[in-house]
Amino acid sequence: MHINLSDDNFNQLIILMAGLIFLLAGYFNLKRKRFLYDKGIGAEGVVISIERNDGFRFGKNADINWFVTIRYLTNDKLWITKRYDELNETLPFTEGDKVKIIYDPADPEEFILDNSSSKYGPLVFTTIGILMIAGSVLFYFFNIKTGDLE
């Protein structure tokens, strides 16, 4: 069996691999969050601090990330103060805001915010991965060249 890795096939392979990465990242993140929604304990936390991280630079643009430190009380009366790293670009909080969280009773420092981005973020990653994989497979089997799209 001979596989021809022309430029178009190589591009399709790269898209396929990127799709697999998106799919796996979405799956494992979804699995973790689903576990916390099913087995976790809800609590109310307070935003203690907000840090801006400009992250990677692309020319004049910066990939802005926000690190929010949240403090909450577990059912065992243990205060947890931990940074939440999963916010990007938009910042829906200010210092002092109350937020709903869900933490793992076996590991109280493992928590997620109880909001729509926690519910739908992994689903978006999984969907993007599936679409990339499907697109690369369709391009390969129907022998569509990237030059044909122009």
Question: Of 34-48, 70-84, 94-108, 118-132, which range is least confident?
Answer: 118-132
Q: Cα separation of 148 and 64, whole Å?
A: 36
Q: Cα separation of 113 and 83, whole Å?
A: 12
pLDDT given at position 46 = 96
| Residue of higher predicted confidence among 4 and 136 | 136
pLDDT of 3 > 70? The answer is no
Q: Cα separation of 24 and 31, whole Å?
A: 10
CA angle 8, 14, 19 (to 5 degrees): 125
pLDDT of 70 > 90? The answer is yes
* pLDDT grade for 44, boundaries at 50, 70 and 90: very high
Minimal CA–CA distance to 19: which of 112, 150, 140?
Answer: 140
* End-to-end Cα separation, the chain, in angstroms: 31
pLDDT given at position 13 = 86
Q: Cα separation of 5 and 97, whole Å?
A: 54
pLDDT given at position 50 = 86
| Residue of higher predicted confidence among 63 and 107 | 107
Q: What's the pTM value of the predicted model, to 2 decimals?
A: 0.68
The answer to whether the CB of 53 falls within 8 A of the CB of 66 is yes
Q: Tens of pLDDT along 108-146? A: 999 998 876 667 777 888 899 999 999 888 887 887 765
Average pLDDT score over the chain: 82
pLDDT of 62 > 70? The answer is no
Minimal CA–CA distance to 26: which of 144, 127, 146?
Answer: 127
